Amino acid sequence: MISTIKYVNRTDKSIEIILEPWAEEFILLPNQKLELIAEYEKSNTYCQIEQSEDCIIFYAWEHSLVKVLIDGEDRTNTSGSVMF
């Protein structure tokens, strides 16, 4: 299966994005667009999102690989090559 989450930073501040369980960190500037594209096998799995004042944590889908795009540019690191 493939699932996509899109997020736009509509604030006037930068936001730290953390992608778990890989602990990848990204900075999303004001008005930048984040897209997470996950490929996984199970159909009953889900992701989780938590937010604080200056940080958003995305907990990825179980047994997934995740591609990270910021304004359409691939920023994928470990999440795209190591399935958890």
| Domain limits for position 62 | 2-75
**What is the predicted pLDDT for the residue at 37?**
94
Q: Is residue 24 part of a domain?
A: yes
What pLDDT, on a 0 to 100 scale, did the predictor assign at position 53?
A: 84
Flag whether 46 is in a domain: yes
Q: Give me the phi and psi of 62, to 5 degrees please.
A: -60, 140
In 3-state terms, what secondary structure has residue 79? helix
Predicted pLDDT at 84:
67
80 in a structural domain: no
The count of structural domains within the chain is: 1
Judge whether 66 lies within some domain.
yes
Residue 84 lies in a domain: no
30: in domain: yes
Divide the 84 residues of the chain into consecutive groups of 10 and give the mean pLDDT of each group: 94 95 95 95 86 92 92 90 78
